[in-house]
Each structure stands twice: as structure tokens, then as C-alpha cells.
Amino acid sequence: MKYKLFSRLVALLVLAVLVSLLFELPIFWRQFYPIRYKKIIVEQAAANNLDKALVAAVIKVESNFRADAVSKANARGLMQLRPRTAMEVARGLGHEINEEAFPEKLFDPEYNIILGTRYLAAMLKQFGGDETLALAAYNAGPTKLRSWLDAGTWDGTWKNRRQIPYPETRNYLDKVRQAKERYRKLYKND
């Protein structure tokens, strides 16, 4: 009787060790944190002086790599750009804009990543390279972010992100940071 109990405990311990090792294998986590459109992500991250892990994390959190994603706020594509914001970015790049057809272009993965990385880089520049502020602006909008900062609602630090009045933005910051670290760890040699 003791032997059976002991052998079951040993088997459970071995199983627990094997499961914990599985959870540490990159091949396991890459199923949950894929990088689709890797070539364009790497190219546009480099072109805009962005960390490719950050770009992949934003796409993961914004759309889970679904090029056809549309939010309640009508943000579209991989990086969830609102048509008006995307048009401003496109005009800044010197692109010709057909306002009627433009929103559909945001479902093109390459075009969406080109505009999204440019916008993310602009947010980083606008907020002095502070990634926390840039991501909050990307999610809630730079005008809303400035109103929180100016009113003292949030001090703009990662540590005090719970002061942000929008739960979606607070959660967004946490999710992007977690995904960025995962991508950095999983794809460091790619």
C-alpha cells in the first residue's frame, strides 16, 4: 500500500516537472505569441526606430494579428487605426488619399503596419521617448492623455498607472508590456 502511494506521488512529481518544463519552452509559448507579417514588422520597426518586440506586442494586443479587425470606435486592421488618424499619418508621408476608399486600405496588413508604426513613433517623439506615455496616447489618444496629465489625474508614471481613469487604457499598458517581454524573450535570436 505504501509503495503504491509512493509511486503515485513520484509519478505526479515527475509529471509536474515535465509540465513546468513544457511551459518554459519557446515552442510552447510561440503558439500563443506568434509573429505574423514578421518581415514588414521588422522593416517598419527599424525604419521608425522602434523595438520590433514592441510593435509585435501592440499588434497582438490591438488585433491579435487579425488584419480584418474592427473596433467599436471604428479602428481598423492590425494596429487598430482610426481612419481619421491614419489619414493624417498617410498625408504626413505624402500619400495620395481617396477619403471614400481609404478606410478599406487599413485592412491591408503592410499598409496598416506602415501607418501604425509611424503613428507609434510619433507618439514616442511627442512624449519624449517615454514608452508608457506613448502607449497610453496610442490607446486613449494624445489629447485625452494630455488632459489627464494637465489635470493631475495621472502623473504619467508606470508605477502610478492605476490613476488612469480609463480601465481599458490601464489594462492596455499591462497587456502590451507583458506581450513585449514575451516577444523579446521568445524571438531574441530571430
Residue by residue, what is the 3-state secondary structure of the chain?
A: CHHHHHHHHHHHHHHHHHHHHHHHCHHHHCCCCCCCCHHHHHHHHHHCCCCHHHHHHHHHHHHCCCCCCECCCCCECCCCECHHHHHHHHHHCCCCCCCCCHHHHCCCHHHHHHHHHHHHHHHHHHCCCCHHHHHHHHHHCHHHHHHHHHHCCCCCCCCCHHHCCCHHHHHHHHHHHHHHHHHHHHCCCC
The domains of the chain are located at: 1-31, 33-186
> All 3 cell numbers of residue 172?
492596455
Top CATH class, 33-186: mainly alpha
Residue pair 96/125 in contact (Cβ under 8 Å)? The answer is no
First to last CA, the chain: 52
| Residues 6+ away with beta carbon under 8 Å from 101 | none
- Among all residues, which ones are annotated catalytic? 62
Cβ neighbours for 106, distance < 8 A, ≥ 6 positions apart: 76, 77, 81, 83, 86, 112, 115
pLDDT < 70 positions in the chain: 1-3, 5-7, 9-31, 190
Per-residue confidence (pLDDT) for residue 157, from 0 to 100: 97
pTM: 0.84
The pLDDT assigned to 23 comes to 55
What cell was used for 81? 487605426
